[in-house]
C-alpha cells in the first residue's frame, strides 16, 4: 500500500496561492478603490496565514503518515 502523497497536494496548494497572489497584483494595478481594498482585506489577506497553517499541517501529517506506513510494514 502506498502512503498518501501529501507533499504533491501541498505543492498544488502552494502553487495555486502563489498564482492567486500574482493575479491580484496584476488586477490591483487597475482596480484600486475602496471596494478592491475591502475585498483584499476581507478575503485575500486572511488566506495567507490560513494557507501557511494548512501547508505546515500537511507537512507534519506527511511525516506522521510515512512513519505509520513504515511501522506497519515491519
CB 13 within 8 A of CB 54: yes
CB atoms within 10 A of CB 39: 16
Question: Domain for residue 1, yes or no?
Answer: no
- Output the pTM of the full model: 0.81
CB 6 within 8 A of CB 63: no
CA distance 65 to 71: 10
Question: Domain for residue 62, yes or no?
Answer: yes
Q: Is the pLDDT score of 74 beyond 90?
A: no
pLDDT (tens digit, 9 = 90+) per residue, 12-48?
999 999 999 999 999 999 999 999 999 999 999 999 9
Number of domains the chain is built from: 1
Residue 56 belongs to domain spanning: 6-73
CA distance 5 to 38: 37
What is the largest distance, in Å, between two alpha-carbon atoms of the chain?
Answer: 61
Amino acid at each position: 500500500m502506498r502512503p498518501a502523497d501529501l507533499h504533491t497536494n501541498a505543492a498544488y496548494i502552494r502553487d495555486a496561492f502563489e498564482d492567486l497572489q500574482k493575479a491580484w497584483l496584476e488586477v490591483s494595478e487597475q482596480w484600486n478603490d475602496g471596494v478592491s481594498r475591502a475585498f483584499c482585506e476581507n478575503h485575500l489577506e486572511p488566506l495567507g496565514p490560513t494557507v501557511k497553517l494548512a501547508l505546515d499541517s500537511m507537512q507534519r501529517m506527511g511525516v506522521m503518515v510515512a512513519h505509520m506506513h513504515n511501522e506497519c510494514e515491519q
